[in-house]
Structure 1
């Protein structure tokens, strides 16, 4: 009887969602690699609600979470082609496509999460969003990606010496490969969905990510040592296919941008709560959290990374402006 009730409830929920989508003149398809309930997924749900209200129900969003439409690299291409309308993606995969995205992706470019917010919510952030237009994408806004740190299954990492020779998964970005190499470790670019099994089978020793991803991916189950070196504070970006954007009226374009802005504080509030929840969960599960670490050698080791990627006067100026931002 309980099973029948559960199935009935699921069918009714599905039918309600279909009716809601059917009531919209246009339903935008949105992709995210993270699972349902994750702050970025919930933020796009909030965006959908705001968008429906702003357009009197003419526009709504259907969210495909948990990499249902593919890993990030694949979904970026689908979004450029217009097969996907909206996409929440880490900035890392864009580094080889849009040079401006390399700057907020630089190791230790931000002094804190608050510093990152000030920069990305201001003129510099808008410059970076504007750069997406030349690549068949419309930048709508930035979400939080937290601070990323190394975790592994072999040993506690307390210095650069401990990193030597270890194999770490990184996002599919040349910059992140060079970052790990500069620290003396070996970088292995892999899709997010392959990390768990790769650690489990020994293809890699570990990876690097934030508290919520370390938790919700289950990586803490196979990599118990988490070192809070906080080498990256990389924002996430919400983009729209330019093909889909161009089909909207000017009024609806304004509504989409406004709804995206509405979703940012929602995401940040959920993110702070999720970070706390995830930290408590992995600590309780027995992960060893290493906080006693001198970041100075890590920061100094990034000099060749900056020299390689910050080459044009435009990018050098952007770095200088970020560093001067209070």
Structure 2
């Protein structure tokens, strides 16, 4: 009987040692983003985390921090470049302080559908050249996930640039977005995403602009109930990894993490595309007024000077990105 007890005790010791060795061998990678827990960005991050753990046979565990817990988008990218966090996912324009030419991805009205956007981000030669600059800045792009087309939520009804005059709109720190919104007639207020709801509620700004998923998950329609589907900018969210983290990985683990990122992209894209109408319907049921037919032609005309300003600063890159976008619009109706 004693021998049996000793055998059982010894077995527990072995199992405990095995778990301890596993825990010690497993490396935790930090993934920070600004979306809410119920948002598509967080859902995609969780899918990615599971795939990373599976494809690295448990050597790596991705810990996801949502809701700006570790910082806003600029701070997350800065921390990632320095090696303070391992992953983040954000609008392409948020990476522009490190790669200025990425401002041009925020040019207004250059893509008309999700399918066009996916093809542009997967196949644009110009964009690949810009993304290839990232490792020298301290991070590298792994895959492009989805956020959607940007639209407006405002306290007052919005149908044309005339309605924008005298209104202050919150946006994120991006030069091209500022030029676009100012051309539409808005005054601009830059502020972190977690501060926006209260700022609208208290009247510091009249509204904000973001993709539908972000509007919905942050409940901006509660304080700015006029949801206007301007679709003024296509705004996907490339996933990036710290270059310091990347260089520590074995070639096999680099391949595994790249695979996890790439395989998560279709999930993120379909989730956003399929949920847009459901979210709009739910917002309408909760009192939001959805304007599906604003005067887009008037908004397009208003932002025409933005292309000229961009050419003055970015030169031939503007024509390169516009040519790629035009070819894709022609190929994908």
TM-score by length of 1: 0.89
Report the alpha carbon displacement of residue 130 of structure 1 after superposing the two structures with TM: 1.6
What residue number does 1:141 align with?
Answer: 143
Which residue of the other structure, out of 318, 321, 324, is the alignment partner of 2:321?
Answer: 318
Unpaired runs of at least 5, structure 1: 1-17
Counterparts of 2:124 and 2:234, CA distance in 1:
19
- Deviation per CA, 1:37-73: give whole Å up to 9, x if none: 3212121221222222222211221101111111111
The answer to whether structure 1 residue 194 and structure 2 residue 192 are counterparts is no
Report the alpha carbon displacement of residue 221 of structure 1 after superposing the two structures with TM: 0.8
Aligned residue pairs: how many?
307
- Deviation per CA, 1:206-238: give whole Å up to 9, x if none: 011122211111211111111111111111111
Counterparts of 1:117 and 1:47, CA distance in 2:
19
What residue number does 1:231 align with?
Answer: 232
> Structure 1 residues 127, 230: closer, same or farther in 2, change over 3 A?
same
Report the alpha carbon displacement of residue 94 of structure 1 after superposing the two structures with TM: 2.0
User: Following superposition of structure 1 onto structure 2, how do residues 46-65 of structure 1 map, counting pairs within 5 Å?
Assistant: 46-65=47-66
Assess if the C-alpha contact under 8 Å between 1:100 and 1:131 holds in 2.
no
Report the alpha carbon displacement of residue 113 of structure 1 after superposing the two structures with TM: 1.5
Q: In structure 1, the residue corresponding to 2:166 is in which secondary structure?
A: coil
What residue number does 2:41 align with?
Answer: 40
User: Following superposition of structure 1 onto structure 2, how do residues 159-308 of structure 1 map, counting pairs within 5 Å?
Assistant: 159-308=160-309
Assess if the C-alpha contact under 8 Å between 1:129 and 1:141 holds in 2.
no
The answer to whether structure 1 residue 122 and structure 2 residue 143 are counterparts is no
User: Following superposition of structure 1 onto structure 2, how do residues 12-23 of structure 1 map, counting pairs within 5 Å?
Assistant: 22=23
Q: In structure 2, the residue corresponding to 1:103 is in which secondary structure?
A: helix
Report the alpha carbon displacement of residue 312 of structure 1 after superposing the two structures with TM: 2.4
Report the alpha carbon displacement of residue 78 of structure 1 after superposing the two structures with TM: 0.7
Counterparts of 1:49 and 1:215, CA distance in 2:
25
Q: In structure 2, the residue corresponding to 1:109 is in which secondary structure?
A: coil
Counterparts of 2:200 and 2:239, CA distance in 1:
29
- Deviation per CA, 1:123-174: give whole Å up to 9, x if none: 4343332222221111111111211111111x21111111111100011112
Assess if the C-alpha contact under 8 Å between 1:173 and 1:189 holds in 2.
no
Counterparts of 2:201 and 2:222, CA distance in 1:
9
More displaced stretch, 307-316 vs 61-70? 307-316
